[in-house]
Structure 1
């Protein structure tokens, strides 16, 4: 059994299949037969990634039984991962699994790697994360990501790197996962700030204090602070807090403008804010910005009241 398969034909899964397909055969799994049939016929995924074409090296299937690869990239949204693994975990257990989803599972409060370990205990795990938009990867634009592994990942790093996709190796899976998850919460906060007309100075404060919260929470969970200062933390934070190509930032813009959350789009930062706010309180980790984002998305507080509450917090040293 050799080769690479990607499970999940959303924007990121499709983009990875395009860039990795330039190197050799790749199998792309779609969640249902209709989607797989459309992708096979059109060689495009205009719903998730308009304009990008799938190379002929990409084989598309809706059957897990067709996945004959020793390396499997999981590009299933975090909030759907539990159900996916419950249905298909046994079929992929023992393969090398690379998590490409970001967030914290709301129902369980677990990171994706912890969910995978429940259903696929024999699989070596890795996390692929960092500052990237699927459209940029699909177009072959230069992108650098973190590949965090639970074993010696040099061979995996070589296998998944391409001329336009540069991977930096790490052994801090917790830090890589939490960096990718928590930055979505801060991106929501940054979008809310701009959408509410609070301007760039306030956004800079939100991003900086948000990064402090990210680091504090991740270190308490067993991560290394330097991981958060890398691509999977700070790098991803910069990207998602400054671009309207970020779904979390644009969702925050809508909230700040009083428009509510957009329908039909996965906004991982929403569920992550809720899960992390609860988890941080249980662990005794102070995360005022995350708490306010959770309260705003749940409608428990207005944007104006959230901003006022944050500004009224007791004066303290910068940490």
Structure 2
């Protein structure tokens, strides 16, 4: 059994249908659905890499591969717990073994208004109370739980520890063990400190504080990329460095691109899947955001960048992206999959 945090379509436009008809859902562009139904994963990925995300960024191979898996996850789900946030309410359900059904040639009412195929998988009626009748309210959650019980993209399966927390929350069981962990305490203290600071500012000052806080990490990474590019173009320092041209017109454009990557990745490391920290959060320095080139021999260019944990970037070094991910999976699973 998996626990999956989900939203349903751009701007969540599928949610009213899902709630009323007891389904979980996802969608594909009509052209992409044909490739998915043919199980042509490589064709699907190549097609996906020509498309832009809702943030206006060309999809990377990893993102296109993730899109391919979304339809499979929804169509095959059975006995999984799904969680959805609507305003201050937390809704949950369990998927059924009933077959999925498809609504074809739907025009999205938002965004690019694409022609899409929507997959609906039956589930139990959605509930916004726990198994003991307790209300499930967003504002009562621990700050760290808010990090993983919602998603900005389509869906995200939770890791084992976070999934256990979500199930305990639904069951109405004690959550003290999680809340007593050092990482959870640090997150709580950091959130409380920020809230205290924000209460002293109003109006435009409050908005400026929020925007400045959100953009500081990626602007720092943009500066690092430019410095790396400027000082490693074949110059001999102690050794000859690779050419690392920055193929963005200016720092603002690069910074905006990194912002879009962070939003698309939802602050999860593209290599390890770990939640990344910002230096301003007082988190773990090894989990701070770091800008990585997918192809280490390539340039700082659109489609060749991802945001990863600092330690993962250091460990990967000039290595191959696919090989590094395979080794991470070996460590995670403690076995090599042939």
TM-score, with length taken from structure 2:
0.24
Greater helix share, structure number: 1
Larger radius of gyration: 2
